[in-house]
């Protein structure tokens, strides 16, 4: 009788390497490992070699960079996705993609379960498991790290006992990377009062060491999607790589904030998101030029809810798709160019143009050629302020009346 199979999301690190052996021992199963290339700097051949050496019967490496950018990052740009106003949900966006590939491989292999290496304190466990259960309710989901309760030292001891290679150098930081950004946790970063040491950053230079001359970048959007940088047409993967490099060179994209995790913990988070920082700022500015005031104000509510749903692990929630119906409709007019100035860790939008721009020079100018009829302002002010004036008059009269 064939042994049951489990598909494990595998990074090649200590946790998921120990997971392979632990799953085999506890559940008496064959383990198949899966690694996705989402733009992280890994030697995927070495990851596969390590997985097989650790005991996996088969390993999959799947390049999903294009799918990640087009199906996850582009919708996030259209939604101006910044969780709590600061975090471009870089890791959050990748989790439903990983979960969907776990399900695909499980179906292909006839597996009865999938597994991940998340702890019980983070958000990722929720993102993986809600998505997996939505796509394949019959699959069991196993979370070894959440179950075994081992400390890192105990994991190392377990690894050595089972012949699992252990890196001699232990970084105090936990890092998650993909094309959209880099998340750094642990070590001294767990003390919110301490400035992040320079050693945690890899994509951005210290602002004080950035070039002394500013650099201008022009980004063109078509229906909410970035399509060119400085006039050069690029696919999504190349465009984001380019902006990570250019903005990072100027120290743009460092984020340090207090974040409310889904599980209820207040957490200090540090991110590097050069391309995301530039693109989200440019996209939002272009929207303000082409959408009406009412659309802009209402879309802020829609964007915030879309972002919360994704951060909270509810990618498969029907409401996300409902919200995207509105978002996609607004993006038909988000076409045009935005000029951004990068300098010493900061960025500013310094120009924008669009065939759909609602800016009318003849109305806005203060020159005598203006077509705006200023005589209309007097009547507008009378009507606009009427409810407020009436309310204040009523309150004054009420206060002046003696109490009965």
Based on the residue annotation, tell me whether 94 is a catalytic residue of this protein: no
Locus of tokens 């790589």 = 241
Are residues 274 and 243 in contact, defined by beta-carbon separation less than 8 angstroms? Answer: yes
On the CB side of 257, CA atoms within 13 Å amount to 17
Side by side, the strands of the sheet bearing 30-37 are 58-63, 30-37, 5-9, 113-115, 140-142
Name the strand (E) or helix (H) holding 74.
Answer: helix 74-78
Number of other CB atoms surrounding residue 216 within 10 Å = 12
Are residues 313 and 130 in contact, defined by beta-carbon separation less than 8 angstroms? Answer: yes
Q: Is the dihedral of CA 13, 16, 19, 21 positive or negative?
A: negative
Q: Which two tokens stand for residue 26?
A: 């506890």
Rama region for 394: left / alpha / beta (φ>0; ψ in -120 to 50; rest): alpha
Q: Nearest-CA neighbor of 176 among 24, 34, 42? A: 42
Are residues 188 and 200 in contact, defined by beta-carbon separation less than 8 angstroms? Answer: no
The Cα 350–Cα 282 span in angstroms is 10
Options 30, 50, 100, 124, the catalytic residue: 124
Are residues 13 and 149 in contact, defined by beta-carbon separation less than 8 angstroms? Answer: no
Based on the residue annotation, tell me whether 15 is a catalytic residue of this protein: yes
Phi, psi (degrees; rounded to nearest 5) at 179:
-60, -30
Q: Which two tokens stand for residue 308?
A: 């919360």
On the CB side of 109, CA atoms within 13 Å amount to 27
Options 134, 174, 267, 357, the catalytic residue: 174
Q: Nearest-CA neighbor of 56 among 89, 31, 82, 39? A: 31
Interior/surface letters 114-148, b for 16+ CB within 10 angstroms, e for the rest: bbbbbeeebbbbbbbbbbbbbbbeebbbbbbbeee
Options 11, 15, 100, 254, the catalytic residue: 15
Options 50, 92, 95, 354, the catalytic residue: 95
Are residues 299 and 281 in contact, defined by beta-carbon separation less than 8 angstroms? Answer: no
Based on the residue annotation, tell me whether 174 is a catalytic residue of this protein: yes
Are residues 112 and 6 in contact, defined by beta-carbon separation less than 8 angstroms? Answer: yes
Residues with catalytic annotation?
15, 95, 124, 174
């Amino acid at each position: 009788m064939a042994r049951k199979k489990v598909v494990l999301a595998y990074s090649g690190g200590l946790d998921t390497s120990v997971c392979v052996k632990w799953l085999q021992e506890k559940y008496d199963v064959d383990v198949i490992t899966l690694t996705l290339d989402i733009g992280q700097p890994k030697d995927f051949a070495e990851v596969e070699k390590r997985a097989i050496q650790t005991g996996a019967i088969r390993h999959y490496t799947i390049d999903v960079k294009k799918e990640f950018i087009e199906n996850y990052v582009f919708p996030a740009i259209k939604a101006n996705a910044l969780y709590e106003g600061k975090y471009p949900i870089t890791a959050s966006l990748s989790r439903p993609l990983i979960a969907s590939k776990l399900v695909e491989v499980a179906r292909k292999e006839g597996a009865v379960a999938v597994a991940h290496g998340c702890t019980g304190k983070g958000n990722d466990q929720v993102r993986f498991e809600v998505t997996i259960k939505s796509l394949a309710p019959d699959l069991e989901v196993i979370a070894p790290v959440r179950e075994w309760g081992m400390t890192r030292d105990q994991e190392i001891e377990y690894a050595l006992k089972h012949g699992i290679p252990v890196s001699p150098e232990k970084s105090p930081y936990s890092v998650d990377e993909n094309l959209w950004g880099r998340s750094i946790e642990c070590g001294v970063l767990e003390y919110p009062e301490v400035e992040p040491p320079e050693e945690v950053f890899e994509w951005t230079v210290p602002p004080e060491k950035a070039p002394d001359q500013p650099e201008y970048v022009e980004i063109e959007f078509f229906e909410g999607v970035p399509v060119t940088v400085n006039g050069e047409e690029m696919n999504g993967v190349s465009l984001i790589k380019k902006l990570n490099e250019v903005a990072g060179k100027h120290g743009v994209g460092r984020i340090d904030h207090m974040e409310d995790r889904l599980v209820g913990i207040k957490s200090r988070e540090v991110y590097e998101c050069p391309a995301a920082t530039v693109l989200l700022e440019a996209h939002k500015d272009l929207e303000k030029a082409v959408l009406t005031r009412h659309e802009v104000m209402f879309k802020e509510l829609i964007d915030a809810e879309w972002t919360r749903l994704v951060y909270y692990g509810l990618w498969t929630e029907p409401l996300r798709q409902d919200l995207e119906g509105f978002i996609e409709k607004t993006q038909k007019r988000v076409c045009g160019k935005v000029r951004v100035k990068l300098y010493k860790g900061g960025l500013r939008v310094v120009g924008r143009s669009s065939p759909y721009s609602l800016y009318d020079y003849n109305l806005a100018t203060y020159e005598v050629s203006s077509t705006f009829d200023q005589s209309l302002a007097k009547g507008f002010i009378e009507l606009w302020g009427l409810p407020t004036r009436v309310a204040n008059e009523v309150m004054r009269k009420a206060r002046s009346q003696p109490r009965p």
